[in-house]
Each structure stands twice: as structure tokens, then as C-alpha cells.
Chains A and B, each alone.
Chain A
Amino acid sequence: MQTLGFVRALEPVLATRYPEEEERAGALLRYMEFFNTHPILASAVLGAIVRHEAQGEVELSEKTVKMLMGPFGGMGDSFFWGALKPLFILIALAAVQQGQLWVAVAMVVGFALVNVISRVCLLNLGISLGRRVVVSVQRLGLLAWAQRIKVLAALLTGWVMVVALAQSPAAHWGIGVFSLAAAATFLALVVAWGARREVDPLWMVILCSLLAVGGSVLI
């Protein structure tokens, strides 16, 4: 599906260079191959193609697509999906737990802004640098930033988990908050061990609920 969107986005750009529809269709056909990268960093690829097409560097343009989509896919997934998005979600979760719904709404707006502004900036960067945009994007150090953000996300995950437990029926079980936090941490590490062995958390929920209800029937 990205292929279709990518080619559709190129159509107005190529319309100036190829005013005849048949010629334009031929030019667009060159890009109608498999295209899959991160949707935000795809803007940088698009910008680079705009530049090379405008300069008549057709062969370079086609090579650029193949050269950029792999690395950009990895960088974008790691930074935007693997780190930044969870961070925004965790901030929203922590805020909602404290009754600050407006912060959650701000996170939705904030992430949408990051999304749109990044696309605009990367498109412009691609247009001004062409295939050299890969160097500029690498210099941004997205992978290193992703690691830093993940540390913050881990901190918030611990925070959110304990507050969720304190707001759950466990609060009425007469267990101290520190004991509850310690037990939850141990269980979370067990779950992480299982998840690392490809056990799906959704199935864990289903299995645990069957055990919990079954236990309640027996009691």
C-alpha cells in the first residue's frame, strides 16, 4: 500500500517534468516497485526523489529509493514506533492515572505535531540534499536517542504499573504498597521471561483469566 501512496505523492511532481500523460505514466511506473519504509522517514525519500527527478537524474533517483528505504525503515521503527510513541503513551497513562486527562489530550496533539512537523522537515531536507539526506538523518542519531528515550519509558513503565496496582482491587487486600510493588516486579520479570520466549501477552491474559475464574469457582 505504501507503494501506491508513494507513487501518488510523486505524480504532481512529475507532472511538471512530464506534461504528457503517457510519458508521466512511464515515469511513475519506474517507482511502482515494492516500497516499504517508515511512514515518517518516507518523506525524506520522497524529497530526495523530487530533487533527482528535477535534475533529470533518473537512474540515481531509482537507486536512491532502494538505498534509503531499508535503513530509514529500521531507524524510524526504532525511534518513532519503538521509543517516542511508547513514551508519549506512557506519559498519557501516568497523567490519566493522576486524573490529568488534559495531559493525555496534549500527548495526542503533541505526537500528531511531531508526526507532521517531522514529515515536513524531512521532505525539505530530502529536496535540498537528495540522496545525501541519508548522511543528515544518520547525524541526527535517532538510534542513540531511541535508547535514551527507552530508559525514560522503562522508568515510566515501572511507575505506571505500581500506580495501576494501587488503584486496583489489590489496594484492599491489606498488602503494603512496597510489598505489592516488589511482588509485581517479580511477576513482571517472569512475564518478560515468558514474552522473550514468544509467549503472547494476550494469551497470557486469557490463560490467567481462565485460571482466576476457575480458582474462584473452586473457592
Chain B
Amino acid sequence: MDVSAQYIDFAAYGYLTLAGAVLGLDRVAFMQSLVSRPLFVSLIVGWLAGDAETGVACGLLLELIWLAKLPVGGSVPPDDTTAAVVAVASALLAPQQWSVAASAALGVVASMPFAYLGRRFDLAARKRNTLLVDRARAELQSGSTKGLARYCRQGVLNFFIAGALAVSLSLFMARALVLAALNYHPEALEGGMEIMAVLIPVIGAGSFLVALPGWRCRTAFGVGVAGSAAGLATGLATGLAGLKASLPLFFGKLHGAGK
């Protein structure tokens, strides 16, 4: 399926919304594994859209930002699944002559406000689910246990609906936002996004450092930086060439093929 060529197509919106809503269930309602993480959502959405390379590029940038946004304690982080779907779909709107890195940065930047919109829907679903607990309690007080399974299913359904609404609304709004920005000053936007492709990994890594306290972690971070630089300088880290070489083995198509 090639959705990038007909981004406004309703069937494509349907597929992307369904993918976002189903994968988003993994954030709270289902396993809480890695399936809802931006790297994997971007990969799947990119593959669905016929451009796995842009999907992976978006996922790498988003994942670094969301490393510091884990749902620890009672905190509800911005919706990374919605952000990932919107980022890939927005990145595919970039002109074909743009580099993959700039396209991915455009998608990621465009997706940031919608991560907060997704969070709003997430919070609304949680609020509705609190009401379900009250209803289940009332039913137990009346001596019946029959509703428990139904209320559990309803809770999952609330998260699904919230995810679907968040993704579909965000896709529409992000498209308008990105197209307006592209029409306004495409050259400046491209230049800015080239810079953002460099800055986003640094912002992600820097914000995650807060969750890694102590001199041991600081030292390890320094060792990682030095080791990576040395690896790249000596050619031990294969870099993008390895990624480009292996993607066709998995997905068959490369950047631009879906445009």
C-alpha cells in the first residue's frame, strides 16, 4: 500500500489511524512492551507508507527524545505513538529533493504539538475509566459480578477510541501545518530542518542524562561518546551505509520510492 502519494486519501488515513490506535494500546492497556515505542511505530508506519527509510529516520530521532519520557510513577507522558505516526506521515510531505534527515526532522518537529494533543486524549480516556471503576463498584454492591469483564473491555476500548481520535485529528492538522510551512518558505525550512536533524539527537541524549544520575553514569556517557567517535574515525561503526544496505532486505523499498 502506498499512502504517501495520496496522503489525503481517506483509506490511507484509516490505515494510519488504525495502526496508531492498535499499537497505542500497548502504552497502557495491553502489554506495555516496546511495540508502542516511536522507533517501532515509525518503522511499521514507514513500511505501511512504502518508505521504510524515512520511517526509521523519524523513529531514531523520536526515540531519543522520548527516552527521557517514560511513564514513571503517576506521570502521563506526551503520546509518543501519535507523535510517531504523525512524524512519518508529515516527513513524507517533504519535497523529494530533501535529504532523509531533513524530511525526518520536519516530521518530528511537526509531531511535537500533537504528542500533547494525544496526551489530552489519553488523560480523557483515563478519566472515563475511573468512572468505570465507580460503576463496577456499584454493581458489586448490588451483588452482581457479571459486569467486571465488560468494564475491563470497555476500558481498553476507551483507550483505543482515544488513540484513534488523537491520531486521526493530528494527521489532519499536521498535514495543514506542514503544507503551510512548506508553501511559506521551503528553502528556509529545509535549512532549518537540516540543523534540527543535528540538534534533535543532542536534545534527546541531554534530556535523558537527567534520568542517569551519578558520576558513574556521567563517566559512562563520556566513554560512550569517545568510543563512538573513535569507532567512527577508524571505520568500526559502519554508519548509514550499513542501514541503507540492509533496509531493502526487510522492506524492499527505499526513500523516495513511495513519493
What class of interface size applies to chain B in its complex with A? 35 or more
The binding surface of chain B is classed by DSSP as helix
Task: Count residues on chain A whose CB falls below 8 Å from chain B CBs.
Answer: 94
Neighbouring A residues of B218 by C-beta, 8 Å: 154
In the complex the two chains form, is B200's CB within 8 Å of A192's CB? no
A166 near B: Cβ within 8 Å? yes
A-B contact pairs, 9 of them (CB 8 A): A96-B59, A158-B221, A166-B232, A195-B206, A195-B207, A201-B204, A201-B206, A202-B116, A209-B192
Per-residue CB contact flags for chain B residues 203-244 toward chain A (1 = under 8 Å, else 0) read 111111111101011101111111111011100011111111
In the complex the two chains form, is B221's CB within 8 Å of A155's CB? yes
Given A32-B133, A96-B56, A151-B220, the answer on whether A169 and B198 have CB atoms closer than 8 Å is: yes
Partner among A73, A108, A155, A208 whose Cβ is within 8 Å of the Cβ of B199: A208
B165 near A: Cβ within 8 Å? no
Partner among B64, B70, B102 whose Cβ is within 8 Å of the Cβ of A164: B64
In the complex the two chains form, is A201's CB within 8 Å of B65's CB? yes
In the complex the two chains form, is B207's CB within 8 Å of A192's CB? yes
Bound form: Cα–Cα A101–B46 in Å: 14
**Interface residue ranges of A8-59 to B (CB < 8 Å):** 8, 11, 21-22, 24-26, 28-29, 32, 36, 39
In the complex the two chains form, is A177's CB within 8 Å of B229's CB? yes
B188, B227, B250 — which one has the most chain A CB atoms within 10 A of its CB? Answer: B188
- What is the chain A residue whose CB lies nearest that of B242? A99
- Other A-B contacts than A3-B133, A216-B187, 4 sampled, CB-CB below 8 A, are A28-B145, A204-B207, A205-B109, A213-B188
Partner among B112, B191, B227 whose Cβ is within 8 Å of the Cβ of A206: B112
Interface segment, one of B5-13, B14-22, B35-43, B168-176: B35-43
- What is the chain B residue whose CB lies nearest that of A111? B34
- What is the chain A residue whose CB lies nearest that of B209? A192
- Shortest B83–chain A CB gap in Å is 9
A82 near B: Cβ within 8 Å? yes
In the complex the two chains form, is B216's CB within 8 Å of A170's CB? no
Bound form: Cα–Cα A134–B116 in Å: 37
In the complex the two chains form, is B225's CB within 8 Å of A158's CB? yes
Per-residue CB contact flags for chain B residues 121-133 toward chain A (1 = under 8 Å, else 0) read 0000010011011
Partner among A7, A86, A206 whose Cβ is within 8 Å of the Cβ of B136: A7
Neighbouring B residues of A82 by C-beta, 8 Å: 70, 72, 211
Neighbouring B residues of A128 by C-beta, 8 Å: none
Neighbouring A residues of B202 by C-beta, 8 Å: 161, 165, 184, 187-188, 191
B78 near A: Cβ within 8 Å? yes
**Interface residue ranges of B50-109 to A (CB < 8 Å):** 56, 59-61, 63-65, 67-74, 78, 99, 101-102, 105, 108-109
